[in-house]
Structure 1
């Protein structure tokens, strides 16, 4: 059930197909549900061969020698490459070029790529890769981030000097390593070109930054490395970093033949970054009536073997480290370190997710210590428009957090838990389908969670997008083509771009061209930024086309002037880096709020948990597509549920123990409860259409809400997520 509170009127357009504010049908919807949609793993060309990657079994070791002879002797093998065959620069990286294309002299994590094989069949390539003889000299691995002295970034935040209060609560919290767990593993097809370059058809999140990392490694100018977006089966941050892109291109250029690489599920767990595990210590001080006086926080993030986006993750954890609360005195220390664990980088809500679990757990402790309800403690300290974050940045757009909490609290609760052996449907109980209970040891709990998330890139990043819009007559009818490099990763961006063009130009027939690098950069499909930045670029380009209509209807203008094409870049307002010593600075473009209430039933003897209901209130500024928006809130809440109760990559001594969906558990439709949503529209005057990025905030607040509900049902402290059955039953 969804309720919408509108703050602005919508445009009215004399069109037969939906524009901004309506639930336009996704052009890929039918193909996806019928299984006909072409993902990157479905790519095929005649004469193509298959690439396979050999990966390190050790989290830390010297490489003494590599013997590729046995692999070359396998019939059907066409090439075997090592770091010596990298044609250009041997290192790449999203923020720092510290990651080798193929391991050079050493490996720093289990699964690091060491060699490549190309063969006429994928099974032949796999057998050949297994035949390569690598002489490793294992060495001690640094796997405990508390023992690492190799810092990626340290970011303090300092405000005020009063760190004494009437009521003080402390806690230590831990967040496990979560995987993005997209359904479509890494895949792509590299095709050598006649000009000596290469065309790469790839499932990615960031076409231009992929190209800018690839070209130097391939020894080619950027214009000879052309990327086209292929069907993406989910991303959630894991496709921001390179995976098989350089490897497929190297093999294709060496063989002068198309090369396809597709990871299996196990290799996918080693082939992309994950959410940073975190260890956090918090201390909150307040007056007796629950007004925050100070917060101290020590946040330690395990970045794994390479940098990836760890600096930005640390920045988010620091700047948003106390949540959407007014706190006059702050001492936050956020640190990201290198270890020999799997590399970690972007995942939905990065940095903010980890901190949110800790500060929301603290707010519940503070509520109990002050004798207040979980909602009341949050309302008394909630930010609003005009409040300052701990970085000194003033919230200059609507932030009705207190009202959102009151609305959430007022939502009806689900039916009460039935008495044991009352004849209730056992399927409604935790473990009921397995006949483990008739309700004797089942307890109900209710919990709340609040999250604040930055939208768009931060800290001075030149965040922009480019759109090319062409209007012309096709078979006598006005037709518009929108071309950007923005990656459609399942979030519905293609639909939104078409809606904007229909709204701005009054033209019913709109085509969104395939994203590629032949148009200017659109940045990454991450940070809940594409509707804001690419939407802004499409809007601006459409406005430029409309201006050339000279007030005439589209058909009349195009008959008179012929095709009209305009390209525009859109940049949001500037941000600046956090001060390295005080953490002060207007580091974020936009901020978004979401609040959750979770209702859970827990079998306290077996440790089984069933989430009965999730309710959420979120302010999105302006709804562009109601149905897609609801899907984003549901999806973010599902990933938050997974982090709360089941999702964790188990790493022991640097080795991944569960690289499969048999052992790495993710929520299914049976784990997701009914959701009640209230969506608010309080426009941000600085954003296109007043919109506010919406995909990530639900991921923050759902996790602490569920954890709080389990605590309420069990009386356990539960300071770590995911919560495991033994944390409840054996505590």
Structure 2
């Protein structure tokens, strides 16, 4: 089935006649509060006797810490504690998602600009800031590692001198976090058969997640010696496993509750202020609140990996791809975070959604003294898509072929074998998605013109700055398509847990769904209620606040939550329904033989047969009983990629999106106006069509940002961040956002709950190269770097 932004929600079916079930565009329960400003985010939390925490961060990128003097800070009235590495409460003083390589506070030396060195707790935030500024640190600067050449030279300075992790024995240099080759077929022999070979060297800039709610939380010491932590995060249980050892506490004494999250996009997967606030709370015996300002936020979380990508493709004269060779170098910065997994994604998805039998691939992640990088929407696939789609346009131009037809000719489909040897078991409608965006009517030409009046400046490059009235403005159209894995990969035990309770309240059956899922804007709080209504046939559903008092739901990332935690909610609901029917059979089976049927349903607060016969009201079945079940749900197992060949069944599911970008370019000033970004995507099953469209449009805009404006600038001589503010780090506003028409297919994945497919990441991939392709089409320039700046278009 297909859907479109103009057809919500006529294209869906419902499993239950209960209102608000799957397939309906139900509204978010937190939506009104958020748009009216009444929603409580983590930064809004308050405790009567709380202190304020402040972090002192390094002013240099790589240096030995010669001395730290905290005397003046301790003497400031209102200061309750000052802490350095030596004051941490437990023998374990390092943490990390995949490698435990990150010190809570710098020890011996600092490895990047903005690394935490000391902490202050005071009775007022300004007091804490003034006291932190009085801490005196003497540094002895060390040589910098900033790129592949300086990281992998035989005499390179080591970012981590005594490295010991599960990749350290398998990499060719200690400054390489992970490297993943993928070899299939014979790329050299295939290259000899090619009629056309194109090469490219591409540069992808460092992007920030730029969530609106900065890192914040409240740590409250408890009577049992533990701590209650209220925090905005993406993965409560991962945080817990890293936090508890550093506090010297068992996990059961670190109780975490999800506070309101103001966006995430991967930047909250890693620890930020959680440990810092907690150690201050335990040290002072008082609640401690920490809220980063925007400047500190740029240093307080990981970013998208900047990358260098080197590609070679070959094709026959009739347009069939012969081979691909590539090397992808990802700068992971000073600490590993999730760099190893990003490398695996970049390598395994580096071919794109195309059939190429012969490949030679290498992806590398580096340790450097640049800012740490980790998870961000698209997770390694974004950088690769930027490069391979530029290559597709180069090949099409060399062959004199239409770029869309060339892509369709080589498009993968269900049954395609990936470069890793894995067979794509579900629909892969790459050619169809390209057709859908290609056939959409184009926006009108010279749309800034008004009948008999002045030009509409808002439709022109430069906008209301009034730089042009259409002189020198050229239109360009470009296409791109991408592939993104869904859920965790490479043998990670990916599961989710849900607790579902069904009881009678005031004579009416009510369901409660309790998971540890982080609601970061993706809409899980809506989907979980829709699943419960559909599976349990009740109208009233309560979503319990997410915390660590229930089993892990995994991270809200990798497009996995609707698939994984949605799957666990469905599984738990199924088990609850079976238990309810068992109770009903026990109570009423003797009087009603129909209770013996296996086709009993819960619908509209009643127990009914498959034929619609009402057997009993749910309230009568349950009476004073409550049914509560907590259960896990897993997808089919994956396996690590072979360290030499890269072969392996490493991914669970793939998502696909295609974009067509229409741009207007002022060729004299180098200004770009993106007029339209049309997108087509396969969503498997639209559980909430309104949310589906919102996710696709949001991901599209994030890809637009990195195409034309977003980049963290790191000084290559000092490794310092030069633009840590929203004044200097540019983001798309509503004035920069084009029309984004959305078409979607619903081609079910037979192994996923309801056939769903991860949605939120795929549109972030292809929107960036589509915009670049359109600008190339308008200007004739090669444009091998992102983001595009005016000087790249004018040569000035």
2:542 maps to which of 511, 523, 544: 511
Q: How does 1:306-385 map to 2 (within 5 A)?
A: 306-385=335-414
Contact 2:479 2:773 in 1 (8 A): yes
1:154 maps to which of 172, 179, 190: 179
3-state SS in 1 of match to 2:455: coil
- Aligned residue number for residue 713 of structure 1: 778
- Aligned residue number for residue 573 of structure 2: 542
The range that moved more, 112-121 or 4-13, is 4-13
Alignment pair present for 1:497 and 2:523 = no
C-alpha separation between the residues in 2 aligned to 1:403 and 1:495?
30
Q: How does 1:400-415 map to 2 (within 5 A)?
A: 400-415=429-444
Alignment pair present for 1:39 and 2:41 = yes
Deviation at 1:560, TM superposition (A): 4.4
Alignment pair present for 1:640 and 2:703 = yes
Deviation at 1:160, TM superposition (A): 1.1
C-alpha separation between the residues in 1 aligned to 2:88 and 2:776?
53
3-state SS in 2 of match to 1:549: helix
Alignment pair present for 1:440 and 2:471 = yes
3-state SS in 2 of match to 1:409: helix
- Aligned residue number for residue 518 of structure 2: 487
Change (3 A) 1:554 1:155: farther
- Aligned residue number for residue 712 of structure 2: 649
Contact 2:449 2:456 in 1 (8 A): no
- Aligned residue number for residue 675 of structure 1: 740
- Aligned residue number for residue 583 of structure 1: 646
- Aligned residue number for residue 658 of structure 1: 723
Deviation at 1:655, TM superposition (A): 0.4
- Aligned residue number for residue 233 of structure 1: 262
3-state SS in 2 of match to 1:333: strand
3-state SS in 2 of match to 1:656: coil
Change (3 A) 1:668 1:477: same
Superimposed CA distance per residue, residues 561-600 of structure 1 (whole angstroms, 9 cap, x where no aligned partner): 6111111100001110111011111100000000000000
C-alpha separation between the residues in 2 aligned to 1:625 and 1:508?
17
3-state SS in 2 of match to 1:611: strand
- Aligned residue number for residue 196 of structure 2: 167
1:527 maps to which of 558, 561, 566: 558
Change (3 A) 1:227 1:424: same
Superimposed CA distance per residue, residues 430-465 of structure 1 (whole angstroms, 9 cap, x where no aligned partner): 014112111111000000011100000000000000
Contact 1:349 1:453 in 2 (8 A): yes
Alignment pair present for 1:96 and 2:96 = no
Contact 1:478 1:558 in 2 (8 A): no
C-alpha separation between the residues in 1 aligned to 2:455 and 2:136?
61
3-state SS in 1 of match to 2:663: strand
C-alpha separation between the residues in 2 aligned to 1:326 and 1:485?
39
Deviation at 1:289, TM superposition (A): 1.3
Deviation at 1:424, TM superposition (A): 3.5
Alignment pair present for 1:75 and 2:83 = no
C-alpha separation between the residues in 1 aligned to 2:568 and 2:624?
23
Deviation at 1:557, TM superposition (A): 5.2
Contact 1:154 1:333 in 2 (8 A): yes
Superimposed CA distance per residue, residues 134-167 of structure 1 (whole angstroms, 9 cap, x where no aligned partner): 1111111111233212100010010111232110
Change (3 A) 1:403 1:287: same
Contact 2:709 2:787 in 1 (8 A): yes
Question: Unaligned stretches of 5+ in structure 2?
Answer: 153-174, 582-599, 601-606, 608-615
Superimposed CA distance per residue, residues 22-64 of structure 1 (whole angstroms, 9 cap, x where no aligned partner): 1111110110011000000000011100000000000000001
- Aligned residue number for residue 614 of structure 1: 677
Deviation at 1:555, TM superposition (A): 2.2
Contact 2:507 2:619 in 1 (8 A): no
- Aligned residue number for residue 507 of structure 2: 476
Q: How does 1:390-429 map to 2 (within 5 A)?
A: 390-417=419-446, 423-429=454-460
Deviation at 1:428, TM superposition (A): 1.0
3-state SS in 2 of match to 1:637: helix
Superimposed CA distance per residue, residues 499-541 of structure 1 (whole angstroms, 9 cap, x where no aligned partner): 0000000100000000000000000000000000000000010
Contact 1:166 1:285 in 2 (8 A): yes
3-state SS in 2 of match to 1:402: helix
Deviation at 1:8, TM superposition (A): 8.9
- Aligned residue number for residue 567 of structure 1: 630
What TM-score do the two structures reach when normalised by structure 2? 0.90
Change (3 A) 1:3 1:405: farther
3-state SS in 1 of match to 2:741: strand
Question: Unaligned stretches of 5+ in structure 1?
Answer: none
Contact 1:7 1:682 in 2 (8 A): no
- Aligned residue number for residue 116 of structure 1: 119
C-alpha separation between the residues in 2 aligned to 1:268 and 1:663?
14
Superimposed CA distance per residue, residues 664-689 of structure 1 (whole angstroms, 9 cap, x where no aligned partner): 00101111111111110000000000
The range that moved more, 18-27 or 335-344, is 18-27
The range that moved more, 53-62 or 546-555, is 546-555
Deviation at 1:9, TM superposition (A): 6.0
Contact 1:352 1:453 in 2 (8 A): yes
Deviation at 1:730, TM superposition (A): 1.6
C-alpha separation between the residues in 1 aligned to 2:462 and 2:8?
38
Alignment pair present for 1:106 and 2:169 = no
3-state SS in 2 of match to 1:521: coil
Deviation at 1:11, TM superposition (A): 2.2
1:456 maps to which of 483, 487, 490: 487
Contact 1:51 1:118 in 2 (8 A): yes
Alignment pair present for 1:595 and 2:620 = no
Contact 1:5 1:678 in 2 (8 A): no
Deviation at 1:94, TM superposition (A): 0.5
- Aligned residue number for residue 66 of structure 2: 64
3-state SS in 2 of match to 1:448: strand
C-alpha separation between the residues in 2 aligned to 1:407 and 1:200?
48
Q: Which has the larger radius of gyration?
A: 2
Deviation at 1:309, TM superposition (A): 0.1
C-alpha separation between the residues in 2 aligned to 1:12 and 1:685?
16
Deviation at 1:2, TM superposition (A): 1.7
Superposition RMSD in Å: 1.5
Change (3 A) 1:236 1:432: closer
3-state SS in 2 of match to 1:148: helix
Contact 1:175 1:279 in 2 (8 A): yes
Change (3 A) 1:389 1:661: same
Q: How does 1:177-326 map to 2 (within 5 A)?
A: 177-326=206-355
Change (3 A) 1:393 1:62: same
3-state SS in 1 of match to 2:580: coil
Contact 2:8 2:25 in 1 (8 A): no
Change (3 A) 1:406 1:6: farther
Contact 1:2 1:678 in 2 (8 A): yes
Change (3 A) 1:303 1:141: same
- Aligned residue number for residue 22 of structure 1: 24
C-alpha separation between the residues in 2 aligned to 1:590 and 1:223?
34
What TM-score do the two structures reach when normalised by structure 1? 0.98
Superimposed CA distance per residue, residues 173-201 of structure 1 (whole angstroms, 9 cap, x where no aligned partner): 01000000000000000000111110100
3-state SS in 2 of match to 1:642: helix
Change (3 A) 1:319 1:380: same
Contact 2:184 2:645 in 1 (8 A): yes
Alignment pair present for 1:13 and 2:16 = yes
Superimposed CA distance per residue, residues 76-118 of structure 1 (whole angstroms, 9 cap, x where no aligned partner): 1000000011112110001000000000010000000000000
C-alpha separation between the residues in 2 aligned to 1:622 and 1:446?
30
Change (3 A) 1:411 1:155: same
Deviation at 1:426, TM superposition (A): 2.4
Superimposed CA distance per residue, residues 535-563 of structure 1 (whole angstroms, 9 cap, x where no aligned partner): 00000100111112214356245434611
